Structure 1
Amino acid sequence: MDSGLFTANNIWMMLATALVFFMHTGFAFLEIGLTRQKNTINILFKNVFIITGGLLLYYAFGFNLMYPGFAEGDMGILNFAGFGIDAPEGGMTPAYADGGYTWWTDFLFQGMFAATAATIVSGAVAERIKIGSFMIFTIIYVGLIYPIVGSWKWGGGFLDSWGFYDFAGSTLVHSVGGWAALVAIALLGGRIGKFTKDGKPKAIPGHSIPLATAGVLVLWLGWFGFNGGSVLSADPELTSLVLVTTSLAAAAGGFGAMIFSTLLYKNLDLTMFLNGILGGLVGITAGADLMSPNEAVVIGLIAGLIVVGGIALIDRLKLDDPVGAVTVHLICGIWGTLAVGIFGSLASGEQLLLQLYGVLIIGAFCASTSAIILVIIKSTIGLRVSREEELEGLDIHEHGMDAYSDFQIHES
């Protein structure tokens, strides 16, 4: 391979890595914007811990658990290539990864993905989980569960050999986080004041919708690296197609959620609009490289409708998800994964069944393991803060500081 092409590929992958890193800013802005001022420091602390801890865990053993090098004839379920990271022979040359990038770039790009699953959980459990309990869960889930699931497809495991397809992680990243979020909010219960005595949900407004809006736009920008980098080279045709399908699905998701929520609730709800955009992005992620622009619009539009219906369903089930994480990442992640068997170049009944098998297997594994981890934490050190801490705010009780020290926002 020409050295100039190899360099161009690697530069694009490093830029994509930076864009995925930038997504953590978007997650932080979205999460603090949709929650109350008194918990801002707590949420920011969790998000910073996730990216720092996640990267260190991925360095220590996560990368080699996710890419263990399954041997021929191996069942492809679990393997481990050892602790730490060390570039293999030829890892800095075009001989590695068909010249798409160097081994070091590979590690860092995948490391940026690893922390995203825990970030999804962070939003769902916001405003009432103990910080220590969340940190313990993050270490186990990001360090062990995420890379094991990732190895089944991206690491050449059994789902890969079956033909299951997930281009950039509708299931392998988003649903992995979404399943854990669902289990966590079921075990935690709703925030004080979220549900009336007869079980009807009440809105708990976030303290900064402008920050939430900025967060979604940052996430959309970062998705160019999330999906575009998953081409694993700077291939002009495929990379540009992926960026187009990604953006069209995001736009259609936002548009679909806006129209549907307006018809249902008779108001132009910005938060539904924003979550619709995210739903479209999650929905296209599994098959962004397989879809035509028309198919991307349809997938995104349906994801936007799912967001509105899913958020209503979560409320009806008396589950409290402050940022809509379960709907956006789990339900839309499942939809996007199944869409690979319905639309695009792989569409067929057989492929749809393979996609469904993958969703069910990963869902069962993630739900059961997250339940085990969280139940153990709950029965030992506890999951939820005290009533007093929740009412007064986690910032003061767990961090001893206020995010907005120069002014106060009065809350009902």
Structure 2
Amino acid sequence: MLRLKTIEKRLKRIVKKIQLYPTWQGCVILSVILLLSCATSVGAQDTLAEMSAASRELRVGLNTLWMVLASILVISMNAGFAMLETGFCRRKNAVNLLSKNLIVFGISTITFWAIGFGLMFGDGNNLFGMSGFFLAGADNSPAIGADYVGVYTSLSDINVPLAAKFLFQVAFAGTAATIISGAVAERIKFIDFIIFSIFLVAIAYPVVGHWIWGGGWLAEQGFEDFAGSTVVHSVGGWSALTGAWILGPRTGKYPPSGGIMPLPGHNLSLATLGCFILWIGWFGFNAGSTMEVSQDIAYIALTTNLAAAAGAISATIISWVLAGKPDLSLIINGILSGLVAITAGCAFVSYSDAIVIGAIAGILVVVAVYYFDSIKIDDPVGAVSVHLVNGIWGTIAVGLFASPIISGDSEIRGLFTTGNMSLLGTQLLGILAVGVFVVIYSSIIWLVLKALLGLRVSQEEEYLGLDIGEHGMEAYNGFLEVEE
């Protein structure tokens, strides 16, 4: 633009001089100037087109960089889950927990590439995708220069290459599968966990994801789940609940004489480290769901952090009141519960509402842990209380606290912020539909595995530890001499 204004000023000065000499020489000079000005204008237009293309390429590049960094943060959460679950369980099962948290992401990556991604985001109907399997479908994002019709219409407005879209989404798929590992820890066969993870990532997770993020029927109803309180955490939570229930409790956890036998974790330092890794990774989980570089990243990161902090404080207080001592394991789960609960609405709620959501989550997780113990659902790490209970709460919270001013969408209206109940009704419908589907699906898979392979290790293996029985090795060989 500066170049065009300069050219215009020079032309005006030359024309004024020519007006002083109205001769044939002046006419010739004017004709030459006009020809030159036309050529210059064309050149300027070409320059503007090149600048526009460069600007577009730069924006796509920045978006891609952000998506890859966010994907790495989410993938690093697998390390957090590994540390958390290993620390919360007994040392004789440490290798087993570490192995499950490693292999599950490898399984998730290949399974989601082959089946899950196409089922979740491929074009199809409002129940599931029917194209783009093995990542073979064409991308169709106009902003990155595609001039053809692709097969991932639900992702067409995300201005990054298809590889970046897949990398981010497979990180989420792996998280959903990892949630189950802790709830069925210390008594499930390794092969059963692997097979169930395949079926979860291949079918259950992507079908629910298609309903909500892939343009399916819940999306059409207006269901909102920004980063996955339902899609990721509730799906993993429902699967974990059915698995823990069908598998049964660990031997000795609930004695015939009554009461609850504590089976404490062997290393709360590892569990605390895992919590910090998950807390950091969650910034990629939530803020990365913008799918682009924007000012929303900072806002979402802050609401995420506020909810986690509030969850930590409320869980500390309520555990102190109920147990007489502040329980570190419940403080850890309070933080994670705040993170799970804010995941659905992190881009839609105010800072103060994020604190309320996180504080309620911290209370809910403590109450849920005690409740599941009272009905003899043995969950060694509290995965069901964290991910299912607070995945549900976070999804409901969107219907209560979402603000159209913050979200920038007039349709996202919470009951407490606008007095409108329609979004809350849609959220409850989605919770019910996802719960029914995942419970039925996962129960079938667990029961088939139980009938064909048997879910549990033998009593002897459980007593000696899955490290020896399933893997033939120990995590701390030579460090500890006394057997548990």
Secondary structure of the 1:320 match is: coil
Name the counterpart of 1:373: 445
Name the counterpart of 1:272: 330
Q: Quick check: 1:256 aligned with 2:314?
A: yes
Name the counterpart of 2:113: 59
In 1, the alpha carbon distance for the partners of 2:344 and 2:157 equals: 22
Structure showing the higher helix proportion among its residues? 2
Name the counterpart of 1:38: 92
Q: Quick check: 1:187 aligned with 2:246?
A: yes
Name the counterpart of 2:70: 16
What is the aligned counterpart of 1:391 among 447, 460, 463? 463
Q: Quick check: 1:354 aligned with 2:404?
A: no
Name the counterpart of 1:50: 104
In 1, the alpha carbon distance for the partners of 2:328 and 2:469 equals: 32
In 2, the alpha carbon distance for the partners of 1:321 and 1:400 equals: 25
What is the aligned counterpart of 1:314 among 350, 367, 372? 372
AA aligned to 1:381 is: L
In 2, the alpha carbon distance for the partners of 1:52 and 1:192 equals: 31
Q: Quick check: 1:402 aligned with 2:474?
A: yes
Within 5 Å, give how 1:116-127 maps onto structure 2: 116-127=175-186
In 2, the alpha carbon distance for the partners of 1:44 and 1:335 equals: 29
Secondary structure of the 1:84 match is: helix
Q: Is the 8 A contact 1:127 1:390 kept in 2?
A: yes
In 2, the alpha carbon distance for the partners of 1:3 and 1:63 equals: 26
TM-superposed CA distance for 1:85, in Å, is 1.2
Q: TM-score, normalised by structure 2?
A: 0.82
Name the counterpart of 1:28: 82
TM-superposed CA distance for 1:6, in Å, is 2.0
Name the counterpart of 1:86: 136
In 2, the alpha carbon distance for the partners of 1:47 and 1:358 equals: 29
Secondary structure of the 1:127 match is: coil
Cα deviation code 1:129-149 (max 9, x no counterpart): 011111111111111111111
Name the counterpart of 2:269: 210
In 1, the alpha carbon distance for the partners of 2:394 and 2:364 equals: 11
Q: Quick check: 1:222 aligned with 2:281?
A: yes
In 1, the alpha carbon distance for the partners of 2:130 and 2:258 equals: 47
In 2, the alpha carbon distance for the partners of 1:152 and 1:251 equals: 32
Q: Is the 8 A contact 2:365 2:385 kept in 1?
A: yes
Name the counterpart of 2:212: 153
AA aligned to 1:407 is: F
Secondary structure of the 2:144 match is: coil
Secondary structure of the 1:2 match is: helix
In 1, the alpha carbon distance for the partners of 2:131 and 2:139 equals: 15
Q: Is the 8 A contact 1:250 1:300 kept in 2?
A: yes
Unaligned runs of 5+ in 1: none
AA aligned to 2:138 is: P
- Larger relative CO (CA 8 A, sep 6+): 1 or 2? 1
Q: Is the 8 A contact 1:310 1:331 kept in 2?
A: yes
Name the counterpart of 2:159: 100
Secondary structure of the 1:340 match is: helix
Cα deviation code 1:360-401 (max 9, x no counterpart): 000000000000000111111100111000000111111111
What is the aligned counterpart of 2:301 among 224, 240, 243? 243
Q: Is the 8 A contact 1:93 1:102 kept in 2?
A: no
In 2, the alpha carbon distance for the partners of 1:209 and 1:293 equals: 31
Question: After TM superposition, where is structure 1 displaced by more than 3 Å over at least 4 residues in a row?
Answer: 89-93, 95-100, 409-412
TM-superposed CA distance for 1:331, in Å, is 0.3
TM-superposed CA distance for 1:42, in Å, is 0.9
Cα deviation code 1:111-130 (max 9, x no counterpart): 11111111111000000001
In 1, the alpha carbon distance for the partners of 2:293 and 2:261 equals: 47
TM-superposed CA distance for 1:44, in Å, is 1.1
Cα 1:219–1:10, aligned 2, differ >3 Å: closer, same or farther? same
Greater Rg over alpha carbons, structure? 2
AA aligned to 2:225 is: D
Secondary structure of the 1:355 match is: helix
In 2, the alpha carbon distance for the partners of 1:40 and 1:121 equals: 16
In 2, the alpha carbon distance for the partners of 1:239 and 1:212 equals: 28
Cα 1:211–1:154, aligned 2, differ >3 Å: closer, same or farther? same
Q: Is the 8 A contact 2:177 2:201 kept in 1?
A: yes
Identity %: 47
Q: Is the 8 A contact 1:87 1:104 kept in 2?
A: no
Secondary structure of the 1:342 match is: helix
Unaligned runs of 5+ in 2: 1-54, 147-155, 404-412, 415-419
AA aligned to 1:259 is: I
Q: Quick check: 1:201 aligned with 2:273?
A: no
Name the counterpart of 2:11: none
What is the aligned counterpart of 2:293 among 209, 213, 234? 234
Within 5 Å, give how 1:137-148 maps onto structure 2: 137-148=196-207
TM-superposed CA distance for 1:98, in Å, is 4.0
Cα 1:380–1:359, aligned 2, differ >3 Å: closer, same or farther? same
Q: Is the 8 A contact 2:117 2:132 kept in 1?
A: no
